[in-house]
Structure 1
Amino acid sequence: MADVTARDGEREGRSPDHDRAQLLLVGALALAVLFVALALLLNTAIYTGNLATRETGVDAVPAVEYVGETRTAGVDTIRSVNRLNNTSTDALNSALNASIDRWDDLASHHRAVAGDGAAASVVAVTNGTRIQQDDATRSYIDESGTANWTVAADADLSGVRSLRLKVDESTLPGGFADDVFHINVSSTEGTWSVYVYTNAADDPEIRVFNDGSEVAQCPAGSVTDGTFVIDVPNESVGGAPCAALGDVDDVGTDAAIRYRYGNEAGGTYTMVVDEPPSALTLPGLVAAGSGQPYYTPAIYSADLSVRYRTPELDYEARIGVQPP
């Protein structure tokens, strides 16, 4: 006898395939709702983050600009007072403070137009000594005519900057040798040496040594009116790059600058060291104005306090200022 009992789906007039289709449709709708909800949450988070960034962002550009302007003003002021106010350490410090105060007045008034507050002042000074020879016709001997001599030395001497020589090409011997003019800059970090001569093509050239080992050989880029400049801080010879020079004035403590065979070259030179004249051994130098190699008090470097205020920013820093 045939089975006449109907299955549930058949009694209700539905097939099993129809039930599965409905289940898939319901599942798809549930996933769609979930994705929409996630998208709304993500968009809300992005919007909130952007809004928070716009509301709390601080424009620090004016403060950065002011710090740069203050550093430039400090460098220019140190150079100026070292030339014009070098009668004593007290005169130098007074001139530096007065000049920075005047600059601060002008700069703060300028910034006040935009509603910002700015202030700069001198908080520390490293007193030093400037050593110089201005007579372009003189060789690199000391004031008494000695060819091998100590320019400056002291156990506490630890900084040399602005070392530049303007050399008269006609005073140089031909060919490299141990007895051509050279500078020795020695300290606890070792000894750097710079030899000056003309090469086989009769062009000016230098060689740089570190503790007796040759590091570089640098020809002069150009000679103007018979002279060329050995510029240690700018790492150049006659305008041509010489990267090895960058390490010559990177000294430790107990530093000494010595000239050797100063009778084998001539011209002018200048440098600044980080100890005042009273603390240095300066046997080969005399007072300024004699035409001989001389020294004057100088400011080696200074620290400036800088503050910049806006409704959203209160910035304060201490910056070091040292001419190259």
Structure 2
Amino acid sequence: MAHLSDDQRGQLLLVAGLALAFVFIGLALVVNSAIFTENLASRGETAGSDGALAARASVEANVGEAVERANYYNESAPADAFKQSLRNVSTQTEYLSATSGSLVNVTYVDHREGERINGSIDQGDDNYTVVSDVERAPGANGTRGLAFNSSGLPDGSDPPLVVKVNDTSFVGDERSWRARIWENSSGVQVRTIRNGTTPSENRTEHCSVPSAAENRIQVTGGLVNDQPCDALRWTASGTNFWFGNGVLASNDEYAIHFENTNGVTGEFEVVVHDDGGLSLPLLSLSGDATSGDAIYDTSVRFVYDGPDVRYNTTVRVAPGEPDV
């Protein structure tokens, strides 16, 4: 066994200490480099994604308005009018985004045909079918933009106005979704009833919203006087009460009915998906109701080029469609 002198021991300790120092310095550099890189990446990704998502939300809102204007003002050729509006949306968005150092481009991809129906709620028949043989399409409810403007809802002493959706393969209330709507001193009341094929599947939900001079009930949008109504949306417990939920069992077709309409003042509008097999019995009931060609939904290509991120995706827009 070799014996070291005090000087040799000191030299050995010094060399070991220097070696450990270099190791610690190296580890510190590696760790700091990793943290710095991660922070840079997260900051860049967050900044870029925030800008892209904000631009996308703005584009979706503007495209939705373009769809609604095309349907309202151009019943004979809504698709042509929409494409022209979309070009304006893209041009304006590009101009505004360029001021912040980004580039946004929006182009038409496709759309699905629809039918827009509107008229007074009281059609002279207490109960009637608005439309039948409505077919759901992949990713689509089949009905959107169903809304009432009314200054005269039932006051609770009369039967409530009822919006009913039912699977056409069933009779009565089986496989149906119903929204009962009335008004009292507490405001507008909405009670939703969802019937399955067995009692255990039945569900009921209720909401109350302050009244307005003219009440607006956005049945498919889940809003009453611009306030969320759980009876037309998700409940606090997570139960789905959006328009027509739970109706279909054996096929993809359903009908929409209004009940207890006599004496109810106001107008309604709705857009339904038209696959070529729609039935519009309301039009033969009264000359007050009208219908016209419409865009049910549309897909547009959204491209965002920013200083931190490039975002390229297809966006589907269907204003007023239930969130199901």
Q: How would you bin the TM-score normalised by the shorter chain?
A: 0.7 to 0.9
Match of 1:174 among 138, 149, 156: 156
Residue among 275, 279, 282 paired with 2:280: 282
After TM superposition, give the deviation of residue 315 of structure 1 in Å: 3.0
8 Å contact kept, 1:164–1:269: yes
CA contact (8 A) 2:144 2:220 kept: yes
Judged with a 3 Å threshold, the aligned counterparts in structure 2 of structure 1 residues 293 and 66 are, in CA distance, closer, same or farther, namely same
Give the superposed CA RMSD: 3.7
Equivalent residue runs for 1:1-80 within 5 Å = 29=14, 32-49=17-34, 50=36, 60-61=48-49, 62-80=51-69
Does the 8 Å CA contact 1:77/1:100 hold for their aligned counterparts? yes
- Normalized against structure 1, the TM-score is what? 0.73
Q: Which moved more, 1:46-55 or 1:92-101?
A: 46-55
Tell which structure's C-alpha radius of gyration is larger.
1
Following TM superposition, the consecutive aligned residue runs of length 4 or more in structure 1 with deviations greater than 6 angstroms are: none
Q: Which of 230, 242, 252 is the aligned partner of 1:243?
A: 230
Aligned with 2:142 (options 147, 154, 159): 159
Whether the aligned pair in 2 keeps the contact of 1:174 and 1:202 (CA below 8 Å) is: no
| Structure 1 residues 69-218: aligned runs within 5 Å | 69-86=58-75, 88=76, 91-112=77-98, 116-133=102-119, 135=120, 140-142=121-123, 145-154=124-133, 156-157=135-136, 158-169=141-152, 172=154, 174-175=156-157, 179-187=159-167, 190-198=175-183, 204-211=188-195, 213-218=202-207
Residues 142 and 273, structure 2, Cα contact 8 Å, conserved in 1: yes
CA distance in 2, matches of 1:155, 1:98: 29
Once the two structures are TM-superposed, the CA of residue 240 in structure 1 deviates from its matched residue by 5.2
2:135 partner letter: D
- Describe the shift of the 1:313–1:217 C-alpha distance in structure 2 as closer, same or farther (beyond 3 A): closer
Aligned residues: 289
SS of residue paired to 1:269: strand
Determine helix, strand or coil for the equivalent of 1:185. strand
- Give the deviation of 1:69 after TM superposition: 2.7
Structure 1 26/185 Cα, relative in aligned 2: closer, same or farther at 3 Å?
farther
1:188-240 per-position Cα deviation (integer Å, ceiling 9, x unaligned): 894210112355x585423110117452232341232xx42322244343455
User: Judging changes above 3 Å, is the alpha-carbon distance between structure 1 residues 31 and 314 closer, same or farther for their aligned structure 2 residues?
Assistant: same
Q: Distance in 1 between matches of 2:58 and 2:212?
A: 34
Is the aligned partner of 1:223 residue 2:212?
A: yes
Secondary structure class of the residue paired with 2:125:
coil
Runs of at least 5 residues in structure 2 that lack an aligned partner in the other structure: 169-173, 197-201, 234-240
Check 1:97–1:316 CA distance in 2 against 1; reply closer, same or farther (3 A cut): same
Judged with a 3 Å threshold, the aligned counterparts in structure 2 of structure 1 residues 320 and 48 are, in CA distance, closer, same or farther, namely same
**TM-score using structure 2 length:** 0.73
Please tell me whether the aligned partners of residues 186 and 208 of structure 2 are also in contact (alpha carbons under 8 angstroms). Answer: no
User: CA 1:211–1:45 in structure 2 vs 1: closer, same or farther (change >3 Å)?
Assistant: same
